[in-house]
Amino acid sequence: MIAKNYATPQDTEQAFYRAFELADLVEMMAIWAEEEEIVCVHPNGGRHCGLVEVRESWRQIFSQGPRLRFRLAVHHASPLAPEAAPQEAPPSVLH
């Protein structure tokens, strides 16, 4: 596994959801740091620690192939009124 470096957090987020949509384990694991200290907690799931557990958790999720689609929304903050900026919305899940 070779971890990729992304230029921005948004690039990383896009790669994550693309790998998720495609159920691509290799691409998903390329997003994660190559360190045993990584931790992944899936919604309604347990805590997975280390590369082996994290990889296995994604393998199980992807075992039935692509099943979800995501639509990411981007909100931009106004430089004149940062306290009034909307909070970034969580990604929508399309079935």
> Per-residue pLDDT for 95 more than 50?
no
CATH number at residue 44: 3.10.450.50
Domain that holds residue 88: 9-94
Average pLDDT on 73-86 reads 55
Q: Where are the beta strands (DSSP E) in the chain?
A: 39-41, 47-49, 69-71, 92-94
CB 39 within 8 A of CB 48: yes
Q: Is residue 17 part of a domain?
A: yes
C-alpha–C-alpha distance, residues 49 and 52, integer Å: 8
pLDDT tens digit sequence for 2-53? 677 889 988 999 999 999 999 999 999 999 988 889 999 998 888 999 999 9
Number of compact structural domains in the chain: 1
- Higher pLDDT, residue 76 or 18: 18
3 located within any domain: no
Higher-pLDDT residue of 59 and 85 is 59
- Exposure class string for 51-73: b at 16+ Cβ within 10 A, else e: bebbbebbeebbeeeeeeebeee
Which pLDDT value is given to residue 66? Answer: 76
Predicted local confidence at residue 1, as pLDDT = 57
29 domain residue, yes or no: yes
CA dihedral (26, 50, 62, 10) in degrees, to 10, reads: -60
